Copies of this chain bind each other. A is one copy, B any other.
Amino acid sequence: MTAQPLPFDPIARAATLWEEHVGPATVMGAVTSVMRVQQILQSAVDAALRPHGLTFARYEALVLLYFSRRGSLPMRVMGQRLQLHPTSVTNIVDRLEADGLVKRIAHPTDRRTTLVEITEPGRQRRAAATEAVTSVDFGLRGLTERQTESLTDLLAKVRRACGDFQ
């Protein structure tokens, strides 16, 4: 997994761009780094999944359904679990359904609710795609396990400060 080569040091750019103008360089450096790493991870995973006709978003949805009790969940619940806007869920399920990997079924008691159920082809696709994702070096090889935990902890602090986790 290799990111698009860059002809310059993005952190230096961030410092140049922001320092003294927008905020402390350290803060903007961190913000910029988060943005960039997310971009790297996203494109790496998407590249691995592309041969399987999936994106990370759709793959996550498939995994979520696969590990659910009945192989089906209300769309609302999917949105909560995947932290997506309801319309994003609609979009993703539309595409998965068009590929025959999931299907919408009626909720037995609440007629407002639509259940999304993973199909047999969907289960097979998930299995194949998981192999691809597993083989991805998330670039976190640059970190020891301890450092990875440290990274997660720091990000968790940020999220807590933002009201994430409830």
Contacts and interface: CB of A to CB of B under 8 A. Distances in A.
Contacts of A10: 83, 159, 164-165
Contacts of A30: 138, 140, 143, 148-149, 151-152, 155
Interface of A: 1-11, 13, 16-18, 21-24, 26-27, 29-31, 33-42, 44, 60, 63-64, 67, 80-81, 83, 130, 133-134, 138-143, 145, 147-152, 154-166
A5 B151 contact: no
8 contacts: A21-B67, A29-B152, A36-B155, A36-B159, A40-B159, A141-B161, A142-B160, A147-B154
A33 B149 CA distance: 11
Lowest 9 A-B CB distances belong to which pairs?
A: A142-B161, A38-B38, A33-B155, A139-B162, A2-B163, A142-B157, A151-B154, A3-B162, A30-B152
Contacts of A11: 152, 156, 165
A163 B60 CA distance: 26
